[in-house]
Structures are given as C-alpha cells and as structure tokens.
Amino acid sequence: MSNAKFITFEGVDGAGKSTGLDWFAEALRKRGIDLLVTREPGGTPLGEQLREILLNQPMHVETEAMLMFAARREHVEKVIRPALQRGTWVISDRFSDASFAYQGGGRGVPLAKLEQLEQWVHGDLQPDLTLLFDIPIEVARQRLSNNASLDRFEQEKGEFFERVRQAYLARAAKSPHRIAVIRAEKSLQEVQQELSKIVASL
C-alpha cells in the first residue's frame, strides 16, 4: 500500500463534524494532497440506497447493524481500498466507530457481535486517524432543532445520544493514538485552530 492516509470523522448528530470535515479537507487540498471525501452509510451507489433505508425504515437493531456493515463492505472494497492503493487519501464522514457507538452504545447490540462484523468486513484495515467531535448532548440537540426534517436516528431521545456519546468516549480512551477528541462546543475559530494543528502534524 502507498502512504495515503485514511482519516475518519465521528461524533453524535449535531456535533458539527461535517463542517469540521469540509474545513479539514480544504486545508489538506491546499497542501496539495490528493484526497477523496466520502461518507457512511453511503459512499457507493448501493451504499447510498442502503442509507436511504437505514435512515428511514424501522427495523430490528441487529438488521440495522448488519446493513451498516454490508454498506461498509461495499464501500471498503469499491472505494476506500482502491483509493488508498493508488495513493489518494480518504476522508470518511463516519466509519465503524459509529457502529460501535450507535448500534453498540445506543441500541445495545453486544460488542462481541459488532467485533465479529468488523473483523469480517475490514479486519485488515483501520483508519490511520479518527477525529471525534465531542459535545454535550444538550448543545448538539439545540443545533439539531434548527433542522426542518429529522431522520430516524436524529429523532431519538437525549438518553440515546448520551449512550452514543459515552460509547464514543470509551473507544477514544481505548485507542488514544488513533482517536483525537475535538471539544466541539468551542467556537468555530477554536475548533479550526485545533484542526489546523492536526493538519500540520500529518
């Protein structure tokens, strides 16, 4: 494999991760880095169809977990791995940490089952770096309340997001070298300063 890096962005809905991602990708492009921005669930034609179902259709929690990983399998094989092999960096708006946080922490799917799926789908591929946008749930919910239509996940209660947040933080504590926690309740300028330090370190 080339030296291209695989970087993922994570956080509860409303944490400001997508705004941070746009800024970060632009900062890398300005340094002349060839990169691809993608997202999960999604990132391939089939993955985008699965996203539509996952965000709107009620289903059993384990069906949800398996569909997330099915979309991911397609994404890894068709987009992420080929890009990295040709030297293109990949920035993904969410990856498997989201499954551990939402399906594991939020919905209560046993971690051992998610670990099996992870092993199956991308046992030999992990992000080089993950930026976790962490924010108090009340602040994230206030930001979301400006959205006109909320999907199946965004409609969940505060306790659900608290569990998701704690699951993310637990993963960050277990992998401190891979996962950098960004305090996302800070001003946009302060968040950008933190991101620019990370860009400079890459």
**Interface residue list for ligand TMP (CB under 6 A):** 13, 39-41, 68, 93-94, 98-99, 102-103, 153
**Distance between CA 110 and CA 21 in Å, rounded?**
30
Q: Which is nearer to ligand TMP, 23 or 153 (CB)?
A: 153
Q: Which is nearer to ligand TMP, 89 or 103 (CB)?
A: 103
Going by C-alpha positions, the residue among 5, 12, 195, 184 that lies closest to residue 98 is 12
**Distance between CA 116 and CA 178 in Å, rounded?**
20
* Minimum CB–partner distance for residue 130 and ligand TMP (Å): 12
Q: Are 142 and 20 a contacting pair, CB within 8 Å? A: no
Q: Which is nearer to ligand TMP, 2 or 116 (CB)?
A: 116
* Minimum CB–partner distance for residue 189 and ligand TMP (Å): 23
* Minimum CB–partner distance for residue 20 and ligand TMP (Å): 12
- What DSSP state is assigned to residue 27? H
Q: Are 118 and 96 a contacting pair, CB within 8 Å? A: yes
Q: Which is nearer to ligand TMP, 87 or 110 (CB)?
A: 110
* Minimum CB–partner distance for residue 129 and ligand TMP (Å): 17
Q: Which is nearer to ligand TMP, 33 or 73 (CB)?
A: 73
* Minimum CB–partner distance for residue 107 and ligand TMP (Å): 8
Cα-based distances in Å from 125 to 26, 84, 94, 192, 200: 25, 11, 15, 28, 24
Q: Which residue has the tokens 């089939």?
A: 46
